[in-house]
Structures are given as structure tokens and as C-alpha cells.
């Protein structure tokens, strides 16, 4: 085989591989996309239509309209996830600084407490958390989701940020101190800028975690559309309108497209975050 033939063959096999993996990874999404542009009622037509005869955007208008307001769930998710990320980053940055850069007696205890917490299955904390939220009068509020999600993201975030903090040379810190900078100035001018990528990617991962969280959101929102997040809203939509999958599909598309686009744009951040944490 000549070199040219080998290159061509490699290219052909690669294209086939990409197509096969693409089929597995994208087909369910493509099927929802196709269903979402079928005129209502035709999604149950037999034989199955792989492309609608009269594609339409009506379903999108419907689910964005007064009866469904799927945009409300997207907004709720944004509020919950943004709130949780803000909390997580604050707590995680503080604790990561201590873990990575200070000597203290309970350092390893703290690390263990964090990592063990990261493995706790949601089912074992859900009922007491529900009871706690009920006694605080926080059921059907954003807080009932923001507060626990802030904590759920801590183990990964702290670990990730700590590993970036650890990479700042101590000489750099000492040099700043010799130049007369106080501790706070050193932290803000020297250490935080170096750790910024780590903090950013911890934030992105925390956002995604809270965005996709279902068990807690489902439990504390108790059917209140005013606070339902995307996963809860889409599931209840699909349960309630099992015979109107054109609507359900349009609702699903609106709910997941923004996050898919965000993940594609931030791909590098997400992936380095995953491997630097080495955990998720």
C-alpha cells in the first residue's frame, strides 16, 4: 500500500467511526428535534416519519405560550444554579486555600470529610433534608434547592481549586510579602489570579451539577411550577402529555439546547476540570 492509499484508508475508517459514535451520541437528541417540528398529532402517525412532511414551529410557540411557559423552568434553573455556584465558589475557595497552602492540625480530617461527603448517595440524605426544609418553611422556595446544591458541589470544587492553589510557588507569595504586601493583597494579587482557571472550571462544573439535579428539586418543589427547575418541569411535562410528544419534544429542546451549547463552548474548561479533579 502506498502512503497515499494508507492515508485515504485511515480517513475512510475514521469517518465511519465518527459516524457510528455520532449515531449513538446524537440520535436520541435528533429524534427529539425531529419530533418537535412535527405538526401536533402526526408524531403518532404510522408508518413512522423520520422527517415531518410539513415541518412547523407551532409546538415551540405552544410550549412558550401561556399554558406551559417552559421558559419559566429555564429561569428557575438559572436562579438556582447561579445561586448555588456563588455559594459553592465562596466556601470552596476559602477552604481550598487553607487545605492547599496552610499547615494545620485537622487538614487531613477536613479532606477526608470532604471526599466522603462527595460519595454520599442522595437517597440517604433526601428525607431528612426534606424535613429540615419543611421545618424552616422553605419548601417551594429557591432556597430549598440553592442551599443543599451549594454544599453538594463542595467536595469536587474544593479539591479542584485546592489543586490549583497548590501550584502557586511559595516563592511568589514570599516575594510579594517582602515587597511589603499584606496577606490579603497577596491573596488577591498573586494567588487568586493563578488559580482563576481552576475556580472558573469548578464554577462551571458546580453549575452543571446543580442544573441537572433532580431528586432534591423534585422533592422540595412539590409540584409548584413557580420554582420547578428544568429537569422537574420536563419530566412532569412528559408524564402529563404522553400523547402530545410534539409538545414535550419542543419543551425538551428549549430546556436542553442552551446547556448543550454552553458545554460545547466551554468544552475545554469542562474537560480539564474533570481530569484535574481526577474524580468526576
Site residues (CB under 8 A) for other proteins, limited to 111-170:
111-117, 119-132, 147-148, 150-152, 154, 158-159, 162-163, 165-166
Q: Smallest gap, in angstroms, from Cβ of residue 186 to other proteins? A: 14
Q: Smallest gap, in angstroms, from Cβ of residue 210 to other proteins? A: 10
Segment 172 to 211, residues that bind other proteins, using CB under 8 A: 208, 211
**Smaller CB separation from other proteins, 73 or 176:** 73
Concatenating the DSSP letter of every residue in 42-106 gives GGG-SSPPSS-SS--SHHHHHHHSTTT-HHHHHHHHHHHHHHHHHHHHHHHHHHHHHHHH---TT
Do residues 252 and 128 make contact, with C-beta atoms less than 8 angstroms apart? no
Q: Smallest gap, in angstroms, from Cβ of residue 77 to other proteins? A: 9
State the sign of the Cα–Cα–Cα–Cα dihedral 187, 192, 194, 198.
positive
SS3 (DSSP) at 206: helix
**x-marked contacts with other proteins along 13-42 as a string, rule CB under 8 A:** -xx-xx--xx-xxxxxx-xx--x-------
Site size for other proteins (CB under 8 A): 107
Q: Smallest gap, in angstroms, from Cβ of residue 57 to other proteins? A: 19
Q: Smallest gap, in angstroms, from Cβ of residue 233 to other proteins? A: 10
Segment 70 to 109, residues that bind other proteins, using CB under 8 A: 90-92, 94-95, 97-108
- Closest among 180, 44, 153, 58 to 96, alpha carbons compared: 153
Amino acid at each position: 500500500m502506498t502512503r497515499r492509499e494508507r492515508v485515504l484508508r485511515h480517513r475512510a475508517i475514521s469517518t465511519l467511526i465518527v459516524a457510528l459514535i455520532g449515531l449513538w451520541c446524537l440520535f436520541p437528541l435528533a429524534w427529539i428535534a425531529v419530533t418537535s417540528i412535527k405538526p401536533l398529532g402526526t408524531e403518532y402517525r404510522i408508518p413512522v416519519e423520520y422527517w415531518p412532511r410539513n415541518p412547523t414551529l407551532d409546538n415551540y410557540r405552544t410550549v412558550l405560550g401561556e399554558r406551559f411557559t417552559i421558559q419559566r423552568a429555564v429561569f428557575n434553573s438559572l436562579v438556582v444554579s447561579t445561586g448555588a455556584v456563588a455559594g459553592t465558589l465562596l466556601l470552596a475557595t476559602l477552604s481550598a486555600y487553607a487545605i492547599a497552602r496552610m499547615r494545620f492540625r485537622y487538614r487531613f480530617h477536613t479532606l477526608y470529610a470532604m471526599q466522603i461527603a462527595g460519595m454520599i448517595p442522595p437517597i440517604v440524605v433526601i428525607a431528612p433534608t426534606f424535613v429540615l426544609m419543611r421545618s424552616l418553611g422553605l419548601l417551594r422556595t429557591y432556597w430549598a434547592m440553592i442551599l443543599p446544591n451549594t454544599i453538594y458541589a463542595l467536595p469536587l470544587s474544593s479539591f479542584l481549586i485546592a489543586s490549583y492553589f497548590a501550584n502557586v510557588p511559595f516563592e511568589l507569595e514570599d516575594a510579594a510579602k517582602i515587597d511589603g504586601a499584606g496577606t490579603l493583597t497577596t491573596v488577591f494579587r498573586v494567588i487568586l489570579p493563578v488559580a482563576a482557571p481552576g475556580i472558573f472550571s469548578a464554577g462551571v462544573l458546580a453549575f452543571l451539577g446543580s442544573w441537572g439535579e433532580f431528586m432534591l428539586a423534585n422533592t422540595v418543589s412539590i409540584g409548584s411550577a413557580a420554582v420547578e427547575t428544568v429537569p422537574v418541569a420536563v419530566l412532569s411535562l412528559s408524564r402529563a402529555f404522553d400523547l402530545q410528544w410534539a409538545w414535550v419534544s419542543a419543551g425538551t429542546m428549549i430546556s436542553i439546547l442552551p446547556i448543550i451549547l454552553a458545554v460545547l463552548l466551554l468544552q475545554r474548561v469542562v474537560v480539564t476540570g474533570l481530569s484535574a479533579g481526577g474524580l468526576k
